[in-house]
Amino acid sequence: MDFIPDFGKSALYVWLSYGVSVTVLLAFTAHTLIQNAKRKK
Amino acid sequence: MGVISFLANPLRFKKFARVAAPIFGVLALVLIVTGIWIGLWRSPEDQLQGHSVRIMYVHVPAVWIGMMAYAAMALASLFAYIWRHPLSDELARACALPGAAFTALGLLSGSLWGKTSWGTFWQWDGRMTSTLILLFLFIGYMAVWAGTPDKRRAARIAGLVAMVGSINLPIIKFSVDWWNTLHQTSSVSMPDAPGLPPSNLLPLMLMTFGYSFFFGWLVLSQVLNSISKAGERRQRPAAASPTMETL
């Protein structure tokens, strides 16, 4: 598992910040792509 | 003003948005993926903050884009008030949800960073409180749209909320100068600011531009979808309420 960096005592907070941010961006992306596909039909 | 009046025509706006939106989407994807890669894997830890400095690369851009979204929403509402152009209302409305999401992400990531660096998730200091008010303003704006059946009236009231609430933007910006606060003063945007080393500045800028293009993609797509839905409603006049027609 060398490709997963070790952020020491901040690890939980760093991964949580990025995890929530990426999840929200992906949710917006999925919603927008679905709406765009409906529009183009 | 030339660009605004050019894009005020829905047909020209649609032509522009259909070309620009996919370009913004691809740029956002490339910049955000690269920013996350550099932020997590390539940039060094900070001497004082340690690895928690990496949270800054998602926290700072999220708050900046939240503020930019509110400014865009207030400006579009102002145009709607002056020229009564329904496209401006749709543009303002499209900024609200992404703006609220970026502001919420900024608050959440900021509180996580605060726990690692200050030992607390929350402090009622000027910047955090004014950013929380920004989130409430976004929610209030969306609540007006959702709770007012007459969409023309909703646009007028929500526009007023957006414009009056924009007074909060300079308060967020200058709160660190006006009040004693845990937050540091500006380290990037001011000419005499101490600045950041390139290893920190690169992921911060990549994520900022990535979020900006992502926001642009979301807003343009949302407005295109609204125009399309309004067109469908016009083609089915019996099924649509005339008060729902905003375009």
Task: Specify the pLDDT at position B233.
Answer: 78
Contact at CB, B51 and A10, closer than 8 angstroms = yes
Task: Specify the pLDDT at position B62.
Answer: 98
Contact at CB, B50 and A8, closer than 8 angstroms = yes
Task: Specify the pLDDT at position B194.
Answer: 59
Residue B50: left if φ>0, alpha if ψ -120 to 50, beta else—which one?
Answer: left
pLDDT band at B10 (very low <50, low <70, confident <90, very high): confident
Task: Specify the pLDDT at position B192.
Answer: 58
List the structure tokens of B75: 């400006």
> Is residue B168 scored above 50 in pLDDT?
yes
Q: Please, how many CA atoms are within 13 Å of residue B134, restricted to the half-sphere of its CB? A: 37
Residue range B214-234, pLDDT digits in tens: 999 999 999 999 988 888 877
Cβ(B184)–Cβ(B176) below 8 Å: yes
- Return the closest-CA partner of residue B101 out of B71, B74, B62: B62
Residue range B171-192, pLDDT digits in tens: 999 998 888 777 776 666 555 5
Report pTM. Answer: 0.91
**To 5 degrees, how large is the angle CA B170–CA B182–CA B106?**
60
Mean pLDDT lowest for which of B3-7, B193-197, B240-244? B240-244
Residue range B40-56, pLDDT digits in tens: 999 998 888 899 999 99
Mean pLDDT of the B190-198 span: 67
Cβ(B214)–Cβ(A33) below 8 Å: no
Rounded Cα distance, B247 and B231, in Å:
8
Q: Which residues of B touch A20 (CB under 8 A)?
A: 105, 108-109
Kindly report the average pLDDT of chain A as a whole number: 92
**Does B59 contact A at CB distance below 8 Å?**
yes
- Packed helices B151-165 and B86-117: angle between N→C axes, nearest 10 degrees: 40
Rounded Cα distance, B78 and B125, in Å:
30
Helix (H) or strand (E) holding B58: helix B56-83
Contact at CB, A32 and B218, closer than 8 angstroms = yes
Mean pLDDT of the B114-140 span: 95
**To 5 degrees, how large is the angle CA A22–CA B30–CA B41?**
65
Q: Which CATH number applies to B14-231: 1.10.3210, 1.20.120, 3.40.50, 3.20.20?
A: 1.20.120
**Does A21 contact B at CB distance below 8 Å?**
yes
**Does B233 contact A at CB distance below 8 Å?**
no
Q: Please report, as a single letter, which amino acid is at residue B16.
A: F
Mean pLDDT of the B62-80 span: 97
Cβ(B229)–Cβ(B57) below 8 Å: no
Count CB neighbours of B236 within 10 A.
8
**Does B58 contact A at CB distance below 8 Å?**
yes
The dihedral over CA atoms of B78, B86, A30, B208, expressed in degrees to the nearest 10, equals: -20
Q: Please report, as a single letter, which amino acid is at residue B133.
A: I
Sketch the domain layout of chain B as residue ranges.
14-231
Rounded Cα distance, B187 and B194, in Å:
6
Cβ(B94)–Cβ(B148) below 8 Å: no
CB-closest option in A7, A32, A39 to B228: A39
Mean pLDDT lowest for which of A5-9, B8-12, B86-90? B8-12
Task: Specify the pLDDT at position B244.
Answer: 41
**Does A11 contact B at CB distance below 8 Å?**
yes
Contact at CB, A28 and B218, closer than 8 angstroms = yes
